[in-house]
Amino acid sequence: MIDCFKSFVYQKENTKFAVAKLTSDENRVCYFVKLQYIKAMDLIKFVQDEFVTRNELPEFAAGDTITVYYEIKEGNKTRTQFFRGVVIQKRGNGSSETFTIRKMSGTVGVERIFPINLPSIQKIEVNKRGKVRRARIYYFRGLTGKKARIKEKRN
């Protein structure tokens, strides 16, 4: 496990160096990376790509009906709960990517936003592939009844 992470940038003769120090339980590891003309956001993106663990999830897009299985901790107990609905949008990139799912609970629409790299996500099942023309289907919120159906993609 990572205890602490420190990063800083210093400049020497028109070349910027990014230094990332990573201390772990077992030993101290130092990474020295020479980067040409980097920005602070590039350094953050580099660190996220190197050190953030990624979940192996199936490909899905807006309009797909998916089921997300995730852990919930209640006191000492942990249990698995699922959330099944239509993907409204996928947003962001890298480790900050999120997706929004909408389902109907009775007559009330419920939306939930999940980060892609959420450690409590156990698995994602793609139930149906939807045929939509947009990447973000916000118009789906206003539809009710038969209009709220999404055609299934044929392979």
- CA–CA separation, 35 and 108 (whole Å): 51
Question: Looking up tokens 């450690």, which residue turns up?
Answer: 119
Set out the domains of the chain in order of their start, with CATH numbers: 2-51 (no CATH), 65-142 (2.30.30.790)
- CA atoms of 87 and 116, how far apart (whole Å): 13
Regarding beta strands 121-128 and 28-34, do their DSSP bridges make them parallel or antiparallel, or are they unpaired?
unpaired
Q: What is the mean pLDDT of each run of 10 residues along the chain (155 residues)?
A: 44 50 44 50 73 82 95 94 95 87 91 92 94 92 88 86
H-type alpha helices, 25-118 = 40-51
pLDDT at site 70: 95
Report pLDDT for 62. 93
Asked if 66 and 85 count as a contact pair (C-beta separation under 8 A), the reply is yes
* Closest alpha carbon to 55 in 12, 98, 4, 7: 98
AA letter at 135: A
Supply 94's token pair: 């890298």
The whole-number pLDDT of residue 3 equals 40
CA distance to 3, 30, 77, 107, 147, per residue, from 47 (Å): 15, 13, 33, 44, 45
The residue type found at 67 is T
Question: Is the full-model pTM beyond 0.85?
Answer: no
pLDDT value at residue 42: 73
